[in-house]
Structure 1
Amino acid sequence: MSDEKPTRRDILRPLHLLGIALGCGIFAMVVTLVSTGAFTARVNSAIADGSYDGLTPVALGLVVGGGAFIATLLILAMLILAVDPADVTKTIDRPVLYDAEPDEDSGTDKPARPASS
């Protein structure tokens, strides 16, 4: 094992992932609040009167935002596990999804094109 100290970038990488997941959770919560009408007078007066049945829009927004935070965090963690650390520093100079190119010294030639008449 090497005695290299991790760089500041390596240390802060998990914090970046938490920030991305938090942003996704807040976005999902705001969309839920807007779509349930949490900022309208009709819903707020119904909650104040006690005639509103079910989960309040704020509680629903917190549940949806928390679920989106956890789901995003799990998805990002699984995607990071799929990356080989040795491949991160390699440069890619050809399309990734193409087949591997044959070696030049293998002696295989391309088939000749038929002559056009």
Structure 2
Amino acid sequence: MTDKPTRRDLMRPAQLLGVAFAAALFSGFVTAVTMGAFQALPGDAVVRAWSVAAIAAGVAFIVVLLGLSMLLLVVDPAGQSKTIDRPVLLPKGETAEDDEPER
């Protein structure tokens, strides 16, 4: 058995759906509060606030789910266990000692 994570291990559906659902709840609640769903408004305004909040929650759910899925497609499963012992932003031929100022 290998210790390398597979793509299936990285893309656990329950975790992706949980994060997307939490973002949807947050955006729906914020939208409902800002539109006055909990205030003493006429019935029309409260229904409109809840419907817009539901739409915002649905959009947030889909956007977060697609965004996280696309980001996970970029990750190389074999590269998860590699250690990086050099600065990430430097080209492969250079070392950090080359750029240090003299004292």
Q: Place the TM-score, normalised by the shorter chain, in its bin.
A: 0.7 to 0.9
- 1:96 CA displacement: 1.7
Superposed, which structure 2 residues align to 1:33-48 within 5 Å?
33-41=32-40, 43=41, 46-47=42-43
- 1:12 CA displacement: 7.8
Q: Specify which of 67, 84, 99 is matched with residue 91 of structure 2.
A: 99
CA contact (8 A) 2:29 2:53 kept: yes
Count how many residue pairs are aligned between Structure 1 and Structure 2: 90
- 1:91 CA displacement: 1.5
- Structure 1 or 2, whichever has the larger Rg, is 1
Matches of 2:28 and 2:63, distance apart in 1: 13
Corresponding position of 2:12: 13
Structure having the larger proportion of residues in helix: 2
Q: Name segments (4+ residues, structure 1) moved above 3 Å.
A: none
SS in 2 for 1:56: helix
Corresponding position of 1:85: 77
Tell which has more relative contact order, 1 or 2 (C-alpha 8 A, sep 6+): 2
Matches of 2:19 and 2:37, distance apart in 1: 25
What's the TM-score, normalizing by structure 2? Answer: 0.74
- 1:21 CA displacement: 0.6
Q: Which runs of 5+ in 2 are unaligned?
A: 99-103
Corresponding position of 1:61: 53
Judged with a 3 Å threshold, the aligned counterparts in structure 2 of structure 1 residues 10 and 97 are, in CA distance, closer, same or farther, namely same
CA RMSD of aligned residues (A): 2.7
SS in 1 for 2:38: coil
Matches of 1:22 and 1:96, distance apart in 2: 33
